[in-house]
Each structure stands twice: as structure tokens, then as C-alpha cells.
Amino acid sequence: MMSNDEFAQIIDGAFDRYKGNMDVVESAIGALAIGRRLGWRPLFIIHQRSTIRRYEKILGIKFRDKLPEVGVKADKSLAWKIAKTLSNYWKAVRGDISGIRTPVLE
């Protein structure tokens, strides 16, 4: 798991390098922050593959390298709760199984 210092360095670097709509870099940073608690597997279910790739490019990282596979708060994601019961996680990630991608529970 990345340290708070490494987390801050990733954010600072992404913000300094990014040119474009600030909403996009803000979303990438938010995904990284949420991913620290949820893990990369739930994050991959919540977001489309193209979005994950775009965020990784903006942040200059691979989520799999920096985030836990399953975080301590993963069960706050209804999509993750459903995906855990499936025999094929990657089908859920690809969107091959309908009704999986849902918002995070409060």
C-alpha cells in the first residue's frame, strides 16, 4: 500500500503535468483516493476500462501497482458485493454481466 507521502507525490505530479479540463484530473485523483480504501478490484468494476486507463495515464501509475487488490472498505461498494458472488470477476469488469456497475453505498 502506498504511503501518504507517495499518495501526495502522485497527486502533485499529476496536477503539475495535466493540461486540460480540471474535472478530469479531479476525477482521476478521486478514483485514486477512493481506491486506497476500496482496492483496485472494486475500482475496476465501478469504472469502465477506458476510464481506468485514462486515469492511470493522468496519474502516471497503474492502479494494480499502487492499490490493494481488495481494500478494507471494499464492501461499501454494492457492485463489489455482487461481483464477489460471481464465478468470473473479469466478466463483471468487462460489463458482460448486466446490473453490476452501481454507486458506492453510504
At 16, list the grid cell: 503539475
How far is residue 42's CA from residue 35's CA, in Å, rounded to a whole number?
A: 8
pLDDT class for 101, splitting at 50, 70, 90? low
5-37 burial string, b = 16+ CB within 10 Å, else e?
eebeebbeebeeebeeeeeebebbbebbebbbb
**Predicted confidence (pLDDT) per residue in 39-88, tens digit:** 999 999 889 899 999 999 999 999 999 999 999 999 998 888 888 887 67
Percentage, residues of the chain above pLDDT 70? 84
**Is the confidence at residue 98, as pLDDT, over 60?**
yes
pTM of the model: 0.81
Q: Per-domain residue ranges for the chain?
A: 4-73
Q: What's at 32, amino acid-wise?
A: L
